Amino acid sequence: MRILEVLTCAEWGGREDFVVGLSAGLQALGHQVILACPPDTPMWRRAQASSLPLVPIPAQPKRFSLSGLVRMHRLLDAAQADVLHLHDRATYACLLHNFTRFRQRPMIFTMHAVRRLNARRRLVFRHLAHRIVCPSTAVRDALLENGIPAARLTLIPNGVDTCAFDPEALPTEGVRERLGLPAEAPVVAGIGRLSAEKGFDEFLRAAQLVLGAGRPDVRFLLVGDGPQRPALEALARDLGLDDRVIFAGFHEDIAAVLACADIAFLPTIVDESFGMIMAQAGAMGVPVVATRSGAATDIIEDGVTGLLVEKSDPPAAAAALCSLLADEPRRLALGQAAQRRVREHFSIRLSAQRYADLAAQLLAQTCTRARTT
- Give the orientation angle of helix 314-325 with respect to helix 200-212, to 10 degrees: 50
Average pLDDT for 256-284: 95
Instruction: State residue 176's pLDDT score.
Output: 87
- Give the orientation angle of helix 200-212 with respect to helix 229-238, to 10 degrees: 20
Instruction: State residue 94's pLDDT score.
Output: 67
Of the pLDDT bands very low, low, confident and very high (cuts 50, 70, 90), residue 89 is confident
Instruction: State residue 261's pLDDT score.
Output: 95
Half-sphere exposure of 24 (CA within 13 A, CB side): 20
Of the pLDDT bands very low, low, confident and very high (cuts 50, 70, 90), residue 106 is confident
Burial (0-12, 13-18, 19+ Cβ within 10 Å), 12? buried
Half-sphere exposure of 231 (CA within 13 A, CB side): 10
Instruction: State residue 107's pLDDT score.
Output: 87
Q: How far apart are CA 44 and CA 335, in angstroms?
A: 32
Of the pLDDT bands very low, low, confident and very high (cuts 50, 70, 90), residue 372 is low
Q: Tell me the CA distances in angstroms from 370 to 103, 263, 367, one per residue in order.
A: 12, 53, 5
Of the pLDDT bands very low, low, confident and very high (cuts 50, 70, 90), residue 322 is very high
CB 134 within 8 A of CB 143: yes
Q: Has residue 62 got a pLDDT over 70?
A: no
Instruction: Report pLDDT digits (tens) over 17-47.
Output: 999 999 999 999 999 999 999 999 989 999 9
Instruction: State residue 373's pLDDT score.
Output: 56
Of the pLDDT bands very low, low, confident and very high (cuts 50, 70, 90), residue 164 is very high
Q: How far apart are CA 305 and CA 138, in angstroms?
A: 19
Instruction: State residue 61's pLDDT score.
Output: 66
Instruction: Report pLDDT digits (tens) over 91-101.
Output: 776 666 666 66
Q: How far apart are CA 37 and CA 10, in angstroms?
A: 8
Q: Has residue 104 got a pLDDT over 80?
A: no
Q: Has residue 142 got a pLDDT over 90?
A: yes
Average pLDDT for 267-289: 96
Of the pLDDT bands very low, low, confident and very high (cuts 50, 70, 90), residue 67 is confident
Instruction: State residue 97's pLDDT score.
Output: 62
Name the DSSP class of 306.
Answer: E
Instruction: State residue 141's pLDDT score.
Output: 96
Comparing 67-71, 126-130, 196-200, 369-373, the range with the smallest average pLDDT is 369-373
Instruction: State residue 10's pLDDT score.
Output: 85
Q: Choose among 3, 55, 275, 7: nearest CA to 160.
A: 275
Q: Tell me the CA distances in angstroms from 234 to 34, 44, 197, 240, one per residue in order.
A: 43, 33, 18, 10
Q: What proportion of the chain, given as a percentage, has pLDDT over 70?
A: 93
Q: Has residue 13 got a pLDDT over 90?
A: no
Task: Tell me the pTM.
Answer: 0.91
Q: How far apart are CA 224 and CA 247, in angstroms?
A: 8
One-letter amino acid for residue 311 of the chain: K
Instruction: Report pLDDT digits (tens) over 201-254.
Output: 999 999 999 999 999 999 999 999 999 999 999 999 999 998 899 999 998 889
Average pLDDT, the chain: 90
Of the pLDDT bands very low, low, confident and very high (cuts 50, 70, 90), residue 280 is very high
How open is the CA angle 6-96-18, to the nearest 5 degrees?
A: 20
Instruction: State residue 103's pLDDT score.
Output: 64
Domains of the chain: 2-159+347-372 (3.40.50.2000), 175-345 (3.40.50.2000)
Average pLDDT for 106-134: 83
Instruction: State residue 290's pLDDT score.
Output: 97
